């Protein structure tokens, strides 16, 4: 049984209760959308060790599609779950951080306003340690994901909830499973307001050049994690 069918059919059976030890518990109307189980790796293709993620540093991988970027962040502190809602008022229970310190989170790096996202050439959206420096639109807090396009600010410690700016919903969460035995991370689902259809529609021509025919292909098995500073030639800091 794949994960999608597992979640759809899982009731209070003994098997499900047992398996739920590694599975976050979602609210009744949650919108977790399972995709392929994908092991996160380093740039060489070796399994990434969660404990080696530098705190408050932007990392990027692609999931669930080859062209859709995700921010992976070790916030350096334990992060509790949070109740959130999409712009269509669908509520969901973001499960919080994973890893030994419950500090690791992941969110789609596609801004919920006008779909700005990090490319190899430039990134207008990123996590900012401390306060982002911007004379016109100051940070409303420290350690936020800031989109320089129109200054939406998201709090990754609150499930990427919108704290300021025109974005109408949190960044879509990417759910991770941490294997405590080998300290690896596996992405397995999204939770919240997906914007992938709009993203592919808006950037169809650009993605066909940048990523090619595999842009809409599902990532399978493994995804390489890179620091944003290495992935992107010009990470803009507003
Ligand atoms: S595209 Fe990010 S705030 Fe407008």
For residue 166, what are the contacts with CB-CB under 8 A and spacing of at least 6?
113, 150, 152
Q: What is the DSSP string of 185-196?
A: EEEEEEES---H
Look at residue 110 and tell me if it is in a domain.
yes
CATH number at residue 105: 2.102.10.10
Helix (H, G, I), strand (E, B) or coil at 4: helix
Look at residue 19 and tell me if it is in a domain.
no
Look at residue 121 and tell me if it is in a domain.
yes
Nearest CA to ligand 1 atom 4: 150
Look at residue 156 and tell me if it is in a domain.
yes
CB of 148 shorter than 6 A to ligand 1: no
Q: What is the pLDDT of residue 18?
A: 36
Look at residue 238 and tell me if it is in a domain.
no
Look at residue 4 and tell me if it is in a domain.
no
Report how many domains make up the chain: 1
Q: What is the pLDDT of residue 25?
A: 46
Which atom, in ligand 1's list, is nearest to the CA of 115? 1
CB of 116 shorter than 6 A to ligand 1: yes
Look at residue 220 and tell me if it is in a domain.
yes
Task: Residue 105: give the domain boundaries.
Answer: 25-231
Long-range contacts of 218-221 (CB under 8 A, 24+ apart): 218/35, 218/36, 218/64, 218/65, 218/66, 219/35, 219/36, 219/38, 219/62, 219/63, 219/64, 219/65, 219/66, 220/36, 220/38, 221/36, 221/38, 221/39
Which atom, in ligand 1's list, is nearest to the CA of 116? 1
Which atom, in ligand 1's list, is nearest to the CA of 165? 3
Q: What is the pLDDT of residue 135?
A: 58
Nearest CA to ligand 1 atom 1: 114
Look at residue 44 and tell me if it is in a domain.
yes
Rounded to whole angstroms, the Cα distance separating 198 from 223 reads: 23
CB of 111 shorter than 6 A to ligand 1: yes
Which atom, in ligand 1's list, is nearest to the CA of 124? 2
In the predicted model, residues of the chain with pLDDT beneath 50 are 1-28
């Amino acid at each position: 049984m794949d994960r999608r069918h597992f979640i759809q059919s899982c009731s209070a059976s003994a098997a499900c209760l047992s398996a739920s030890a590694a599975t976050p518990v979602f609210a009744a109307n949650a919108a977790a959308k399972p995709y392929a189980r994908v092991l996160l790796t380093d740039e060489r293709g070796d399994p990434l060790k969660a404990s080696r993620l530098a705190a408050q540093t932007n990392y990027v991988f692609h999931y669930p599609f080859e062209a859709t970027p995700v921010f992976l962040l070790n916030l350096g502190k334990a992060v509790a779950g949070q109740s959130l809602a999409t712009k269509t008022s669908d509520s969901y229970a973001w499960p919080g951080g994973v890893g030994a310190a419950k500090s690791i989170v992941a969110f789609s790096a596609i801004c919920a306003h006008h779909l700005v996202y990090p490319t190899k050439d430039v990134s207008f959206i990123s996590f900012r340690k401390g306060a982002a420096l911007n004379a016109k639109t100051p940070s409303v807090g420290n350690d936020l994901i800031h989109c320089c396009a129109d200054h939406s600010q998201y709090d990754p410690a609150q499930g990427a909830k919108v704290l300021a700016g025109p974005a109408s919903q949190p960044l879509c969460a990417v759910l991770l499973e941490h294997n405590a035995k080998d300290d690896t991370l596996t992405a397995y689902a999204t939770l919240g307001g997906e914007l992938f259809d709009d993203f592919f529609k808006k950037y169809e021509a650009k993605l066909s050049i940048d990523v090619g025919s595999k842009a809409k292909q599902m990532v399978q098995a493994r995804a390489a994690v890179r620091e944003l500073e290495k992935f992107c030639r010009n990470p803009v800091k507003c």
